[in-house]
Amino acid sequence: MPSKRGNADTVVVAGRIAVVVVVFGAWEGLVRAGVLPVFFFGQPSVIAAKAYAYLLDGSLLHNCWVTISETVIGFVAGMLLGSVLGLSMWFSRPAARIVEPFLVMFNATPKIALAPMLVLYLGITYWMKVALSFSVVVVIAWMVAYEGSRAVDSDLVRLLYSLSASRWQVFTKVVVPSCLSWIISSFRLCIGFSLTGAVVGEFISANAGLGWFINFSSSVYELNDVWVGLLSLMILATVLNLGVDRIERRLLAWRGAT
Amino acid sequence: MHRGDDTAKLEIAGISKTFETPGKPPVAALGAIDARIAPGEFVCLVGPSGCGKSTLFNIIAGLEQASSGAVLCDGSEVTGKTGVVGYQLQKDLLLPWRTVLDNIILGMELRNVPKREARAQVLPLLARYGLAGFENNYPSTLSGGMRQRAALMRTLLYDKDVILLDEPFGALDAQTRALMQEWLLSVWAESGKTILFITHDVEEALFLADRVWIMSARPGILKAQLDVPIARPRTQDTLVDPQFIALKRQVLTQIREESRRAFETR
């Protein structure tokens, strides 16, 4: 239906396309005119041609797949274990208080600092990257689930007890679902961290993955290749975000449209 | 519905409550309260804020421990036991992640009635509560009145003879509130439940109750009990009945006295 709103949307889309065209056009033009040295900046037309070639020979998709799978495995495993640990702290306040400062310390530490140790334990393997990505996510999920379990509406808990619920019933009917909304809300944050973990892991030592490809291309001054990797990473991150967004919206449908 | 016989549904025998916080002087919330409610009776509890009404409810529901005294239901002691009475607070406390239907069956679910069976049992009753067609809605999409009806339905379907309602209509607008009051009376008349109802609103108390308990300022005791001998069914016309107005004046005078005391000792 053509409406003011529809027209406004068209303008926005056209504007976005214009931004892309102008930025890449100016970049290409400035390189061709010799203002920007291609050695340092790369050249859009060459980047596109290379990306196409890497798509055809399968190397680009392979690198994407390695990074995506590391990210997703680390994310899912970290989320699961972190949530279970955080939720279980609901059962014992004293135990939770004992663990809390260590959790806070661990959370404050950049998990990337674990990388050298992970290399030592797991070698320069695929699982080293998964482990790095996992270690970033697990602490956040743990923290979020713990905070969520402390923020459970005490009146809801009281209601359940007034209905003669057992402690386990309170946990499964109120604490878990109410924490889940916290945990799910942290998905978007965590998928980003998880990707960072995987890419940094590939920077450190790898023979596949977008992080490795970017790092390697940069070390041999192939700026066009660096851009291929970087732009692929941008697309990949966006796709992961959209996927997580969709999952979040579906799982939290009860919050209502507003 | 008469006092004085020995078949009290609920008996409150010398219940008192003192809150003890280490390092602070103890706070007496409830003095000794003695009261009885007959089967099927509707009693409203009014009193100045902070007089311990909700504390009394928590004790009856077994959620808080009394410092002394006992609660008896059908003559047997149930002090500190949960699950003996149905209890509803001012907040509707619907679980936001559950549909209306799944919220209503919560009490049954906790008694291990299979979900499917509970749903089938509840579905035909929704119309009576003005919730037909909303069974799959989430609470966030309902009006305040509907949410309260759903909460009330959950409380009633928990199927206890005694129901405690702590200001259930406190957050509703005046129009919805008046409708909900009439609706509650009709549901109560059908169900034969015994209801103990907290409210700040004297008019609401007199409109609903067989008997009104007036609580004193803290430490709360039952200062007076007043029968409301107004015929049922009651309608909006009841509110301008001379007898109703006379009763209202009587209660208001007593409450005002207590509220002033509560205000001055604060």
pLDDT tens, position by position, A62-114: 999 999 999 999 999 999 999 999 999 999 999 999 999 999 999 999 988 98
Confidence category of residue B5, pLDDT binned at 50, 70, 90: very low
The interaxial angle of helices A187-204 and A115-122, nearest 10 deg, is 70
Give the pLDDT confidence score for residue B7 in this predicted structure. 77
User: In chain B, which residues have their Cβ closer than 8 Å to the Cβ of A253?
Assistant: 138
Instruction: List, for residues A197-253, the tens digit of each pLDDT value.
Output: 999 999 988 889 999 999 999 999 999 999 999 999 999 999 999 999 999 888 888
Q: What value does the mean pLDDT take over residues B210-232?
A: 88
User: Is the model's pLDDT at A27 over the cut of 60?
Assistant: yes
- Looking at the complex, does the CB of residue A113 fall below 8 Å from at least one CB of chain B? no
The pLDDT > 90 percentage for chain A reads 76
Residue B159 Rama label (left phi>0; alpha psi -120 to 50; beta) = left
Residues 6+ away with beta carbon under 8 Å from A117: none
Give the pLDDT confidence score for residue B105 in this predicted structure. 92
Give the pLDDT confidence score for residue A163 in this predicted structure. 87
Residue B163 belongs to what H/E stretch? strand B162-166
User: Is the model's pLDDT at A6 over the cut of 80?
Assistant: no
C-alpha span between B244 and B183 (Å, rounded): 20
Give the pLDDT confidence score for residue A218 in this predicted structure. 92
Give the pLDDT confidence score for residue A225 in this predicted structure. 94
User: In chain A, which residues have their Cβ closer than 8 Å to the Cβ of B93?
Assistant: 153, 155-156, 159
Phi, psi of B162 (to 5 degrees): -110, 130
Specify whether the CB–CB gap between A215 and A203 falls below 8 A: yes
User: Is the model's pLDDT at B190 over the cut of 60?
Assistant: yes
- Contact: A164, B83; criterion CB under 8 Å: yes
Confidence category of residue A2, pLDDT binned at 50, 70, 90: low
The pLDDT > 70 percentage for chain B reads 97
Omega before B233 within 30 of 0, i.e. cis: yes
Please, where are the H alpha helices in chain B? 53-60, 100-104, 106-110, 115-122, 144-157, 174-191, 202-208, 242-264
Please, where are the H alpha helices in B7-160? 53-60, 100-104, 106-110, 115-122, 144-157
Closest CB to B140: pick one of A162, A164, A254.
A254
Give the pLDDT confidence score for residue B45 in this predicted structure. 94
Give the pLDDT confidence score for residue B100 in this predicted structure. 92
Closest CB to B97: pick one of A160, A164, A254.
A254
Give the pLDDT confidence score for residue B218 in this predicted structure. 80
How many CB pairs lie under 8 A apart between chains A and B? Answer: 56
Give the pLDDT confidence score for residue A66 in this predicted structure. 95
Query: Can you say how many angstroms the Cα of residue A79 is from the centroid of all Cα atoms in its chain?
Result: 12
- Whether the complex's predicted ipTM surpasses the cut of 0.85: no
Residue B50 Rama label (left phi>0; alpha psi -120 to 50; beta) = left
Closest CB to B87: pick one of A162, A165, A253.
A162
C-alpha span between A130 and A206 (Å, rounded): 12
Specify the 3-state DSSP secondary structure of B171. Answer: coil
- Looking at the complex, does the CB of residue B61 fall below 8 Å from at least one CB of chain A? yes
Instruction: List, for residues B9-30, the tens digit of each pLDDT value.
Output: 899 888 989 888 888 888 888 8
C-alpha span between B54 and B39 (Å, rounded): 22
pTM for the predicted model, two decimal places: 0.81
Q: What value does the mean pLDDT take over residues B161-176?
A: 88
C-alpha span between B167 and A14 (Å, rounded): 56
- Contact: B107, A163; criterion CB under 8 Å: yes
Give the pLDDT confidence score for residue B257 in this predicted structure. 81
User: Is the model's pLDDT at B48 over the cut of 90?
Assistant: no
Question: Which residue, chain included where needed, has tokens 């109703």?
Answer: B244
The pLDDT > 70 percentage for chain A reads 97
Confidence category of residue A142, pLDDT binned at 50, 70, 90: very high
User: Is the model's pLDDT at B152 over the cut of 60?
Assistant: yes
Mean residue pLDDT across chain A? 91
User: Is the model's pLDDT at A149 over the cut of 90?
Assistant: yes
User: In chain B, which residues have their Cβ closer than 8 Å to the Cβ of A171?
Assistant: none
User: Is the model's pLDDT at B47 over the cut of 90?
Assistant: no
C-alpha span between B62 and B261 (Å, rounded): 30
Confidence category of residue A148, pLDDT binned at 50, 70, 90: very high
Give the pLDDT confidence score for residue B2 in this predicted structure. 39
Specify whether the CB–CB gap between A134 and A80 falls below 8 A: no
Give the pLDDT confidence score for residue B266 in this predicted structure. 57
C-alpha span between A14 and A7 (Å, rounded): 11
Give the pLDDT confidence score for residue B22 in this predicted structure. 86
Pairing type for strands B211-215 and B42-46 reads parallel
Please give the single-letter amino acid code of residue A202. E
Residue B43 belongs to what H/E stretch? strand B42-46
